[in-house]
Amino acid sequence: MKFECTEVAKCRQKITVEVPAEKVDAAFDELYNELRDNAQVKGFRKGHTPRKLLEKKFSKVAANDVRSKLFQDSFLECLKENDISPLGDPDLKVEDLEAKPGEPFGYTTEVDVRPKFELPEYKKLALTEKVVPVTDAEIDEQLGKMRQAFAEYNPTEEACAENDMLEVDVVAKAGEEEIVNETGQRLRVSGEMLFGMECKELVKTLVGAKAGTEKKIELTLPDTFYKEELRGQKAKISLKVNQVLKAELPEVNQQFAQKFGIETVDELKSRIRGNIEAERSTESRRELEEAAKAALLEKVSFDLPEEFLKRQINTNLMRSKMQMARMGATKEFLGEKAAELEKSTAENTEKDIRWMIVSDAIADKEEFEVTEQEIQRHLEMLANYYRTTPAKMFKQIQESNGLAAMISEIRDIKVLNCIMNEAEITKAEVAG
Protein backbone atom coordinates (compact mmCIF):
# COMPACT_ATOMS: atom_id res chain seq x y z
CA MET A 1 0.00 0.00 0.00
CA LYS A 2 1.08 3.56 -0.64
CA PHE A 3 0.64 6.29 1.98
CA GLU A 4 1.29 9.99 1.73
CA CYS A 5 0.75 12.22 4.79
CA THR A 6 1.12 16.00 4.75
CA GLU A 7 0.46 18.51 7.52
CA VAL A 8 -1.99 21.05 6.07
CA ALA A 9 -2.63 22.99 9.31
CA LYS A 10 -1.80 22.81 12.97
CA CYS A 11 -2.62 19.26 14.09
CA ARG A 12 -4.31 18.43 10.79
CA GLN A 13 -3.04 15.89 8.28
CA LYS A 14 -3.94 15.30 4.65
CA ILE A 15 -3.78 11.57 3.97
CA THR A 16 -3.63 9.90 0.55
CA VAL A 17 -3.92 6.12 0.39
CA GLU A 18 -3.68 3.72 -2.53
CA VAL A 19 -4.39 0.01 -2.19
CA PRO A 20 -2.94 -1.97 -5.14
CA ALA A 21 -5.26 -3.94 -7.42
CA GLU A 22 -3.94 -7.31 -6.22
CA LYS A 23 -5.02 -6.53 -2.63
CA VAL A 24 -8.42 -5.41 -3.90
CA ASP A 25 -8.77 -8.69 -5.81
CA ALA A 26 -7.67 -10.65 -2.73
CA ALA A 27 -10.38 -8.90 -0.67
CA PHE A 28 -13.03 -9.79 -3.25
CA ASP A 29 -11.77 -13.39 -3.40
CA GLU A 30 -11.96 -13.71 0.36
CA LEU A 31 -15.47 -12.31 0.47
CA TYR A 32 -16.79 -14.51 -2.37
CA ASN A 33 -15.22 -17.57 -0.76
CA GLU A 34 -17.13 -16.78 2.44
CA LEU A 35 -20.32 -16.28 0.44
CA ARG A 36 -19.79 -19.63 -1.33
CA ASP A 37 -19.42 -21.36 2.03
CA ASN A 38 -22.46 -19.71 3.63
CA ALA A 39 -24.90 -18.44 0.97
CA GLN A 40 -27.98 -20.54 0.24
CA VAL A 41 -28.54 -20.36 -3.54
CA LYS A 42 -31.39 -22.35 -5.09
CA GLY A 43 -30.14 -25.32 -7.08
CA PHE A 44 -26.71 -25.50 -5.44
CA ARG A 45 -25.35 -27.04 -2.27
CA LYS A 46 -23.46 -24.77 0.12
CA GLY A 47 -19.86 -24.43 -1.03
CA HIS A 48 -20.62 -25.32 -4.66
CA THR A 49 -22.21 -22.15 -6.08
CA PRO A 50 -20.24 -20.91 -9.12
CA ARG A 51 -18.32 -17.65 -8.63
CA LYS A 52 -20.00 -16.08 -11.67
CA LEU A 53 -23.45 -16.66 -10.18
CA LEU A 54 -22.35 -15.26 -6.82
CA GLU A 55 -20.99 -12.16 -8.55
CA LYS A 56 -24.26 -11.70 -10.43
CA LYS A 57 -26.38 -12.14 -7.31
CA PHE A 58 -24.26 -10.35 -4.70
CA SER A 59 -22.06 -7.88 -6.62
CA LYS A 60 -23.47 -4.75 -4.96
CA VAL A 61 -23.30 -6.17 -1.44
CA ALA A 62 -19.81 -7.51 -2.11
CA ALA A 63 -18.57 -4.16 -3.40
CA ASN A 64 -19.90 -2.37 -0.33
CA ASP A 65 -18.39 -4.87 2.09
CA VAL A 66 -15.01 -4.86 0.35
CA ARG A 67 -15.00 -1.05 0.21
CA SER A 68 -15.64 -0.81 3.95
CA LYS A 69 -12.99 -3.41 4.78
CA LEU A 70 -10.35 -1.89 2.50
CA PHE A 71 -10.96 1.58 3.93
CA GLN A 72 -10.86 0.50 7.56
CA ASP A 73 -7.78 -1.71 7.17
CA SER A 74 -5.82 0.77 5.05
CA PHE A 75 -6.71 3.80 7.18
CA LEU A 76 -5.71 2.08 10.42
CA GLU A 77 -2.47 0.80 8.86
CA CYS A 78 -1.66 4.31 7.61
CA LEU A 79 -2.22 5.78 11.09
CA LYS A 80 -0.02 3.12 12.68
CA GLU A 81 2.79 3.36 10.12
CA ASN A 82 2.90 7.18 10.32
CA ASP A 83 2.40 7.38 14.11
CA ILE A 84 -0.79 9.45 13.76
CA SER A 85 -3.34 9.59 16.58
CA PRO A 86 -6.59 11.06 15.25
CA LEU A 87 -9.01 13.37 17.01
CA GLY A 88 -12.42 12.48 15.63
CA ASP A 89 -13.26 10.90 12.29
CA PRO A 90 -11.70 11.69 8.89
CA ASP A 91 -13.49 14.18 6.60
CA LEU A 92 -14.74 11.58 4.19
CA LYS A 93 -17.91 9.63 3.37
CA VAL A 94 -16.91 6.00 2.94
CA GLU A 95 -20.09 5.31 0.98
CA ASP A 96 -18.85 7.70 -1.73
CA LEU A 97 -15.82 5.49 -2.39
CA GLU A 98 -15.87 2.65 -4.89
CA ALA A 99 -14.10 -0.70 -4.90
CA LYS A 100 -13.84 -2.63 -8.21
CA PRO A 101 -12.12 -5.92 -8.99
CA GLY A 102 -8.94 -5.49 -10.99
CA GLU A 103 -8.52 -1.81 -10.04
CA PRO A 104 -6.61 -0.03 -7.26
CA PHE A 105 -8.65 1.37 -4.37
CA GLY A 106 -7.71 4.84 -3.20
CA TYR A 107 -8.86 7.97 -1.42
CA THR A 108 -7.68 11.30 -0.05
CA THR A 109 -8.97 12.72 3.20
CA GLU A 110 -8.04 15.04 6.02
CA VAL A 111 -8.12 14.29 9.73
CA ASP A 112 -7.47 16.24 12.92
CA VAL A 113 -4.68 14.68 14.96
CA ARG A 114 -3.57 14.75 18.56
CA PRO A 115 -0.65 17.09 19.21
CA LYS A 116 2.68 15.64 20.24
CA PHE A 117 4.12 16.95 23.51
CA GLU A 118 6.33 15.91 26.39
CA LEU A 119 4.26 14.59 29.27
CA PRO A 120 5.18 16.39 32.52
CA GLU A 121 5.71 14.67 35.86
CA TYR A 122 2.23 13.92 37.15
CA LYS A 123 3.05 12.14 40.38
CA LYS A 124 3.97 13.78 43.69
CA LEU A 125 1.96 16.90 42.87
CA ALA A 126 1.89 19.36 45.77
CA LEU A 127 -1.76 20.16 46.52
CA THR A 128 -3.55 21.96 49.33
CA GLU A 129 -6.86 20.64 50.67
CA LYS A 130 -9.10 23.21 52.33
CA VAL A 131 -10.83 21.71 55.37
CA VAL A 132 -13.98 23.49 56.59
CA PRO A 133 -15.06 22.23 60.06
CA VAL A 134 -18.76 21.65 60.64
CA THR A 135 -20.17 24.15 63.14
CA ASP A 136 -23.00 23.75 65.63
CA ALA A 137 -24.84 26.53 63.78
CA GLU A 138 -24.82 24.46 60.58
CA ILE A 139 -26.21 21.46 62.42
CA ASP A 140 -28.96 23.64 63.92
CA GLU A 141 -29.75 25.00 60.44
CA GLN A 142 -30.10 21.47 59.08
CA LEU A 143 -32.26 20.50 62.03
CA GLY A 144 -34.46 23.49 61.19
CA LYS A 145 -34.97 22.20 57.65
CA MET A 146 -35.81 18.74 58.98
CA ARG A 147 -38.33 20.22 61.40
CA GLN A 148 -39.84 22.19 58.52
CA ALA A 149 -40.40 18.96 56.61
CA PHE A 150 -42.55 17.68 59.50
CA ALA A 151 -44.35 20.96 60.15
CA GLU A 152 -48.07 21.03 60.80
CA TYR A 153 -50.06 23.92 59.32
CA ASN A 154 -52.96 25.39 61.26
CA PRO A 155 -55.19 28.39 60.45
CA THR A 156 -54.20 31.69 62.06
CA GLU A 157 -55.33 35.30 62.13
CA GLU A 158 -51.70 36.43 62.08
CA ALA A 159 -49.97 37.85 59.03
CA CYS A 160 -48.12 35.39 56.82
CA ALA A 161 -44.44 34.79 57.58
CA GLU A 162 -41.82 33.00 55.50
CA ASN A 163 -42.39 29.22 55.44
CA ASP A 164 -46.07 29.62 56.33
CA MET A 165 -48.72 28.23 54.00
CA LEU A 166 -51.40 30.18 52.17
CA GLU A 167 -54.68 28.88 50.82
CA VAL A 168 -55.41 30.98 47.74
CA ASP A 169 -57.63 31.37 44.71
CA VAL A 170 -55.46 31.87 41.63
CA VAL A 171 -56.25 33.68 38.41
CA ALA A 172 -53.49 34.14 35.84
CA LYS A 173 -53.65 35.90 32.49
CA ALA A 174 -51.24 36.30 29.60
CA GLY A 175 -52.57 39.34 27.78
CA GLU A 176 -56.32 38.76 27.59
CA GLU A 177 -56.04 34.97 27.70
CA GLU A 178 -56.82 33.32 31.03
CA ILE A 179 -54.33 30.52 31.59
CA VAL A 180 -55.08 29.59 35.23
CA ASN A 181 -58.26 29.77 37.30
CA GLU A 182 -58.06 27.59 40.39
CA THR A 183 -59.61 27.81 43.86
CA GLY A 184 -58.36 26.53 47.20
CA GLN A 185 -54.77 26.07 46.12
CA ARG A 186 -52.14 25.70 48.86
CA LEU A 187 -48.93 27.64 48.44
CA ARG A 188 -45.93 27.52 50.76
CA VAL A 189 -44.23 30.90 51.10
CA SER A 190 -40.67 29.79 50.44
CA GLY A 191 -38.14 29.71 47.62
CA GLU A 192 -38.55 31.24 44.18
CA MET A 193 -41.01 28.93 42.40
CA LEU A 194 -44.70 29.71 41.91
CA PHE A 195 -46.69 26.74 40.55
CA GLY A 196 -43.64 25.52 38.64
CA MET A 197 -42.60 28.96 37.33
CA GLU A 198 -39.65 31.03 38.52
CA CYS A 199 -40.74 33.95 40.72
CA LYS A 200 -37.89 35.71 42.52
CA GLU A 201 -40.28 38.11 44.29
CA LEU A 202 -42.47 35.35 45.75
CA VAL A 203 -41.47 35.60 49.43
CA LYS A 204 -41.13 39.38 49.39
CA THR A 205 -44.61 39.77 47.89
CA LEU A 206 -46.48 37.31 50.11
CA VAL A 207 -44.93 37.83 53.54
CA GLY A 208 -47.37 39.96 55.56
CA ALA A 209 -50.49 38.80 53.70
CA LYS A 210 -53.67 38.15 55.71
CA ALA A 211 -56.93 36.37 54.97
CA GLY A 212 -59.05 38.47 52.63
CA THR A 213 -56.16 40.31 51.00
CA GLU A 214 -55.20 40.04 47.33
CA LYS A 215 -51.65 39.94 46.01
CA LYS A 216 -50.52 40.45 42.42
CA ILE A 217 -47.40 39.08 40.82
CA GLU A 218 -46.04 39.50 37.29
CA LEU A 219 -43.64 37.01 35.75
CA THR A 220 -42.40 35.74 32.39
CA LEU A 221 -43.78 32.43 31.17
CA PRO A 222 -40.92 29.93 30.73
CA ASP A 223 -39.89 28.28 27.46
CA THR A 224 -41.33 25.05 28.88
CA PHE A 225 -44.85 26.50 29.28
CA TYR A 226 -47.47 24.09 27.95
CA LYS A 227 -48.80 26.61 25.40
CA GLU A 228 -45.96 27.24 22.97
CA GLU A 229 -47.45 30.47 21.59
CA LEU A 230 -47.38 32.05 25.07
CA ARG A 231 -43.80 31.17 25.97
CA GLY A 232 -41.73 34.21 26.85
CA GLN A 233 -44.80 36.41 27.36
CA LYS A 234 -45.60 38.32 30.55
CA ALA A 235 -48.27 36.82 32.82
CA LYS A 236 -50.21 38.67 35.51
CA ILE A 237 -51.15 36.51 38.48
CA SER A 238 -53.75 37.43 41.08
CA LEU A 239 -53.70 35.54 44.40
CA LYS A 240 -56.73 35.98 46.67
CA VAL A 241 -55.77 34.83 50.18
CA ASN A 242 -58.51 32.74 51.80
CA GLN A 243 -56.54 31.86 54.93
CA VAL A 244 -53.06 31.83 56.42
CA LEU A 245 -51.78 28.54 57.79
CA LYS A 246 -49.06 28.94 60.42
CA ALA A 247 -46.24 26.44 60.39
CA GLU A 248 -45.94 24.66 63.76
CA LEU A 249 -42.61 22.89 64.01
CA PRO A 250 -42.02 19.73 66.08
CA GLU A 251 -39.71 19.85 69.08
CA VAL A 252 -36.24 18.36 68.68
CA ASN A 253 -36.51 15.50 71.13
CA GLN A 254 -36.22 11.73 71.24
CA GLN A 255 -39.56 11.29 69.49
CA PHE A 256 -38.36 13.54 66.65
CA ALA A 257 -35.07 11.63 66.36
CA GLN A 258 -36.96 8.35 66.10
CA LYS A 259 -38.70 9.59 62.97
CA PHE A 260 -35.30 9.08 61.29
CA GLY A 261 -34.62 5.67 62.83
CA ILE A 262 -32.31 7.17 65.49
CA GLU A 263 -32.76 6.81 69.25
CA THR A 264 -31.35 10.07 70.64
CA VAL A 265 -30.97 13.73 69.66
CA ASP A 266 -27.19 13.49 70.11
CA GLU A 267 -27.08 10.58 67.65
CA LEU A 268 -29.20 12.58 65.22
CA LYS A 269 -26.82 15.54 65.43
CA SER A 270 -23.88 13.17 64.96
CA ARG A 271 -25.55 11.77 61.83
CA ILE A 272 -26.09 15.28 60.47
CA ARG A 273 -22.45 16.19 61.17
CA GLY A 274 -21.28 13.05 59.37
CA ASN A 275 -23.47 13.77 56.35
CA ILE A 276 -22.17 17.33 56.05
CA GLU A 277 -18.58 16.10 56.42
CA ALA A 278 -19.15 13.47 53.71
CA GLU A 279 -20.55 16.13 51.35
CA ARG A 280 -17.57 18.38 52.02
CA SER A 281 -15.16 15.50 51.51
CA THR A 282 -16.71 14.81 48.10
CA GLU A 283 -16.52 18.49 47.16
CA SER A 284 -12.95 18.71 48.48
CA ARG A 285 -11.95 15.75 46.31
CA ARG A 286 -13.49 17.42 43.27
CA GLU A 287 -11.61 20.66 44.00
CA LEU A 288 -8.33 18.77 44.45
CA GLU A 289 -8.83 17.00 41.13
CA GLU A 290 -9.49 20.32 39.40
CA ALA A 291 -6.37 21.77 41.03
CA ALA A 292 -4.33 18.78 39.83
CA LYS A 293 -5.66 19.21 36.29
CA ALA A 294 -4.83 22.93 36.32
CA ALA A 295 -1.34 22.26 37.66
CA LEU A 296 -0.59 19.76 34.91
CA LEU A 297 -2.07 21.87 32.12
CA GLU A 298 0.18 24.75 33.19
CA LYS A 299 3.18 22.52 32.57
CA VAL A 300 2.35 21.64 28.95
CA SER A 301 2.01 23.64 25.78
CA PHE A 302 0.63 22.32 22.52
CA ASP A 303 -1.53 23.44 19.60
CA LEU A 304 -5.05 22.21 19.01
CA PRO A 305 -6.68 21.59 15.62
CA GLU A 306 -8.65 24.78 14.98
CA GLU A 307 -11.62 23.28 13.14
CA PHE A 308 -11.98 20.48 15.68
CA LEU A 309 -11.98 23.01 18.52
CA LYS A 310 -14.57 25.18 16.76
CA ARG A 311 -16.87 22.20 16.20
CA GLN A 312 -16.65 21.16 19.84
CA ILE A 313 -17.32 24.71 21.05
CA ASN A 314 -20.37 25.05 18.80
CA THR A 315 -21.71 21.67 19.91
CA ASN A 316 -21.28 22.51 23.60
CA LEU A 317 -22.76 25.98 23.12
CA MET A 318 -25.87 24.57 21.48
CA ARG A 319 -26.19 21.96 24.25
CA SER A 320 -25.88 24.65 26.95
CA LYS A 321 -28.55 26.84 25.34
CA MET A 322 -30.95 23.91 25.03
CA GLN A 323 -30.39 22.97 28.66
CA MET A 324 -30.95 26.55 29.84
CA ALA A 325 -34.13 26.75 27.75
CA ARG A 326 -35.43 23.55 29.33
CA MET A 327 -34.82 25.14 32.73
CA GLY A 328 -36.98 28.11 31.75
CA ALA A 329 -34.51 30.63 30.31
CA THR A 330 -36.23 32.98 27.87
CA LYS A 331 -34.96 33.99 24.44
CA GLU A 332 -34.41 37.50 25.79
CA PHE A 333 -32.28 36.17 28.65
CA LEU A 334 -30.24 33.96 26.32
CA GLY A 335 -29.71 36.95 24.04
CA GLU A 336 -28.48 39.10 26.91
CA LYS A 337 -26.11 36.37 28.08
CA ALA A 338 -24.94 35.32 24.59
CA ALA A 339 -21.47 36.88 24.72
CA GLU A 340 -20.83 35.71 28.27
CA LEU A 341 -22.04 32.19 27.48
CA GLU A 342 -19.94 31.96 24.30
CA LYS A 343 -16.83 33.11 26.16
CA SER A 344 -17.24 30.67 29.05
CA THR A 345 -18.13 27.80 26.71
CA ALA A 346 -15.07 28.42 24.55
CA GLU A 347 -12.77 28.55 27.59
CA ASN A 348 -14.22 25.45 29.23
CA THR A 349 -14.28 23.45 26.00
CA GLU A 350 -10.63 24.19 25.24
CA LYS A 351 -9.65 23.31 28.82
CA ASP A 352 -11.60 20.04 28.65
CA ILE A 353 -10.00 19.04 25.33
CA ARG A 354 -6.51 19.83 26.61
CA TRP A 355 -7.15 17.75 29.72
CA MET A 356 -8.55 14.87 27.64
CA ILE A 357 -5.32 14.80 25.61
CA VAL A 358 -3.12 14.90 28.72
CA SER A 359 -5.26 12.31 30.51
CA ASP A 360 -5.11 9.94 27.53
CA ALA A 361 -1.33 10.32 27.41
CA ILE A 362 -1.08 9.38 31.11
CA ALA A 363 -3.44 6.43 30.62
CA ASP A 364 -1.31 5.19 27.71
CA LYS A 365 1.91 5.55 29.74
CA GLU A 366 0.40 3.73 32.71
CA GLU A 367 -1.10 1.15 30.31
CA PHE A 368 -4.53 1.53 31.84
CA GLU A 369 -7.09 -0.83 30.35
CA VAL A 370 -10.81 -0.86 31.10
CA THR A 371 -12.05 -4.29 32.14
CA GLU A 372 -15.55 -5.73 31.77
CA GLN A 373 -15.88 -5.69 35.56
CA GLU A 374 -15.08 -1.94 35.65
CA ILE A 375 -17.64 -1.27 32.91
CA GLN A 376 -20.24 -3.26 34.88
CA ARG A 377 -19.48 -1.35 38.11
CA HIS A 378 -19.74 1.95 36.25
CA LEU A 379 -23.05 0.90 34.72
CA GLU A 380 -24.37 -0.04 38.17
CA MET A 381 -23.34 3.36 39.51
CA LEU A 382 -25.05 5.19 36.62
CA ALA A 383 -28.14 3.00 36.91
CA ASN A 384 -28.40 3.77 40.61
CA TYR A 385 -28.06 7.50 39.95
CA TYR A 386 -30.70 7.52 37.20
CA ARG A 387 -32.91 5.01 39.04
CA THR A 388 -32.93 2.34 36.38
CA THR A 389 -31.36 -1.08 35.81
CA PRO A 390 -27.80 -1.67 34.52
CA ALA A 391 -29.26 -3.50 31.49
CA LYS A 392 -31.48 -0.56 30.55
CA MET A 393 -28.62 1.86 31.20
CA PHE A 394 -26.34 -0.11 28.89
CA LYS A 395 -29.03 -0.18 26.19
CA GLN A 396 -29.44 3.62 26.40
CA ILE A 397 -25.68 4.11 26.13
CA GLN A 398 -25.45 1.80 23.12
CA GLU A 399 -28.37 3.50 21.36
CA SER A 400 -26.71 6.90 21.80
CA ASN A 401 -23.31 5.55 20.64
CA GLY A 402 -21.92 6.46 24.04
CA LEU A 403 -19.94 3.32 24.87
CA ALA A 404 -16.60 4.79 23.76
CA ALA A 405 -17.27 7.93 25.81
CA MET A 406 -18.09 5.83 28.88
CA ILE A 407 -14.87 3.82 28.51
CA SER A 408 -12.95 7.09 28.15
CA GLU A 409 -14.63 8.38 31.32
CA ILE A 410 -13.58 5.27 33.25
CA ARG A 411 -10.00 5.67 32.02
CA ASP A 412 -10.04 9.30 33.14
CA ILE A 413 -11.23 8.25 36.59
CA LYS A 414 -8.31 5.81 36.79
CA VAL A 415 -5.90 8.57 35.75
CA LEU A 416 -7.20 10.94 38.43
CA ASN A 417 -7.05 8.18 41.06
CA CYS A 418 -3.44 7.53 40.06
CA ILE A 419 -2.57 11.22 40.39
CA MET A 420 -4.41 11.72 43.69
CA ASN A 421 -3.00 8.57 45.30
CA GLU A 422 0.53 9.82 44.62
CA ALA A 423 -0.08 13.51 45.37
CA GLU A 424 1.44 15.24 48.39
CA ILE A 425 -1.62 16.84 49.99
CA THR A 426 -1.41 19.44 52.76
CA LYS A 427 -4.56 20.09 54.78
CA ALA A 428 -5.42 23.69 55.63
CA GLU A 429 -8.32 24.44 57.97
CA VAL A 430 -10.43 27.41 56.90
CA ALA A 431 -13.59 29.03 58.20
CA GLY A 432 -16.86 28.20 56.46
Domain ranges of the chain: 2-112, 151-248
Question: What tens digit of pLDDT does each residue of 28-83 get?
Answer: 888 888 877 777 767 676 767 777 877 787 788 888 999 999 999 999 999 999 98
pLDDT of 103 higher than 70: yes
Topology (CATH level 3) of domain 2-112: Alpha-Beta Plaits (3.30.70)
CATH topology of domain 151-248: Chitinase A; domain 3 (3.10.50)
pLDDT tens-digit readout, 293-345:
999 999 999 999 988 999 999 999 888 888 877 766 777 777 777 888 899 99
Instruction: Please give the share of the chain, as a percent, with pLDDT higher than 70.
Output: 98
Global pTM value: 0.73
Between 333 and 259, the higher pLDDT residue: 259
Which among 183, 215, 28, 29 is positioned nearest to 105, based on CA atoms? 28
